[in-house]
Structure formats: structure tokens, C-alpha cells
Amino acid sequence: MDIIYKITFMDRVKNMTPPYYYIGSKSNCDIVGGVIISSNGSEYWGSSKYSDYPYGSQGAVMEVLSDMTGVEYNELIQAEFDIQLENDVVKSVDYFNLSYATKNSFSEPGYATYKHKDIPNKIIRLKNDDELIESGEYVHVNKGRARPVDAVAKWVEKVASKPKSDEHKAKIGRKGMVMLQNVFTLETVRVSPDDERLQSSDWVNPRKITPEKKHKCKYCNIETTKSNLKRWHDENCKFKDTGKYVDPVSVRTTNRKRIPVVINGVEYKSIRSAAIALKVGKYEIKRMAIN
């Protein structure tokens, strides 16, 4: 059998000691007397990496949520992911799950490790702008922990103060690269502009899957990203006195039309578009256009 299962630890439910549940999948197994039996003949009670996960049958009840026997293994994992997501098993303190079945956030930008403020053993990966972080329910795993002074000094001496290698420098920024995320597997990659995945509907900008959370300025009420809010609004807002946002375009006095340029017989609609297409700076484009 190939199954998606849920284990309920009844003793913890009775004593109101979360977490209470675990949802996972198991392939090539049997069910005997309500217990999952692995192919090697041993009982199976989940594979959570939670630090005090109660392995063993005492006080535990197993329920088959879906019999996936006969499907491809990747279909089993995807179905497991969907059920876990539906039950919010990673964020919920009721579950022992510390990650989803198919999502590897260690390869995705914008994630970090957080722990629950009241249940420190509940350590999970979250998007840095997740509402649970903003509310204070989850805090960074290093919150309250100070690195020893000698460890910091050693890091500065051996790592921070050393010149970056040519390979490292080449990777910084990597101008022209495009970030994509798969709408089905949630895999994130960074590709060159000529990569064929840019033409596929399966790969999109990660922000289309996880839109960046917007925040409102307390003075002019404009909604924008957290970084823009910190830099241009709240205490730095230009409209503190009036409390009304004015679009700069509406009061612009200069003509900022695009200036087309011709480089090597090819016309580009603007200096910027030529710079992007030829992968050089705007100053170099102006020099080439003059010559």
C-alpha cells in the first residue's frame, strides 16, 4: 500500500499538551490492526524531526487519509503536500510537522528559521514577511542568543576581512539573471534571459505565487512594500502635514520622454532598453550612440 496518514497522540490530546498530530505518507507498507507496518516488518509511527516526537504506539491512533496505492511516487508526495497545506501543519502548533512534503525552503530566497514564542521546540522555516512573524507568534531562532565575542572576532578575521574571490564577485548581483518559480513544485531557480523556461507558463515570477505583503503609511495612507514604507513613508513621509499623498507624476514639470538611440544600425526605443539588451551601462550606450 501507498498511503497518506494522520497520527493522533491521544494522551497529549487528553492532557492538552500540543502538538497532538502528525500527517505524513508511507509507501510500500501494510496496515495490520490499525498500525502501519513497513516493508521490513517493523511498526511505523512517522518520521518527524521534532525534538521530542513520541515515537511508538502508546497512546497513538493512526488514520488513513488517502489510499494512493498504484500511483507514481511523485504524485503521492504532491498529494501529501496538498493535504498538509490544507491543514496548515507547519504553522499550526497542533502538529509535529516542521516542513511540507515537497517544499524545500532552504533553496528559496526570503526564508529563515523561526521558533514559536511559547513552544521553543516548534522550529520551522517561514517567509520573512509572514504574518506570524509580524504578530510576534514566531520569532527568529537566534532571538535572545548572543554570539560569544571571541566567535565574532574569529569570523571577522577568517571570513569577513578576507578579499572576495573572483568567482564570488562574479556571482554578486549577476546582472541580467531572472528569478523564476515553478507553479506546481514551487522550486525556485535563477536563469539567464535566454532560458527556455521564461517562455513556459509553468514558470513565473515568485511574487505571482507569494505576493509581497503591503503596508499602509500612517500619514498619507498609501500602501506599499515594507522596505519602501521604511525609506519613504511613516516618519519620513513628505505628506505628514497634509495627510494626503500626491503622485509626483501629476506635478512633474520636466519632459521625460524616451529618447530613441541607434547602435550598430539597430534602433532601440530608449537608452535604458539599449543598455538592457546589450548588457552594458547607460554611459556606454551614450558613448556608442555619439560615435
pLDDT tens readout for residues 119-139: 989 998 888 888 899 888 999
What pLDDT score was predicted for residue 74?
A: 77
What pLDDT score was predicted for residue 107?
A: 44
CA 77 remoteness from chain centre = 19
Euclidean distance between CA atoms 285 and 166, whole angstroms: 26
pLDDT tens readout for residues 8-44: 999 999 999 999 999 999 988 899 888 999 887 888 9
What pLDDT score was predicted for residue 173?
A: 60
Which is higher by pLDDT, 180 or 173?
180
What pLDDT score was predicted for residue 201?
A: 87
Of 208, 203, 207, 209, which Cα lies nearest the Cα of 191?
A: 203
pLDDT tens readout for residues 206-229: 888 877 788 899 999 888 888 888
Which is higher by pLDDT, 58 or 174?
58
Q: Report pTM.
A: 0.44
Residue 193 has pLDDT above 90, yes or no: no
What pLDDT score was predicted for residue 172?
A: 64
Residue 4 has pLDDT above 90, yes or no: yes
Amino acid found at 246:
V
Residue 159 has pLDDT above 80, yes or no: no
Q: What are phi and psi of 80, to 5 degrees?
A: -60, -45
Segments making up each domain of the chain, as ranges = 3-98, 215-251, 261-290
pLDDT tens readout for residues 224-279: 888 888 888 999 998 888 888 888 777 766 666 677 888 888 888 888 888 888 88
pLDDT tens readout for residues 87-123: 999 999 999 999 888 655 554 556 788 999 999 899 9
Residues 199-211: what's their mean pLDDT?
85
What pLDDT score was predicted for residue 253?
A: 65
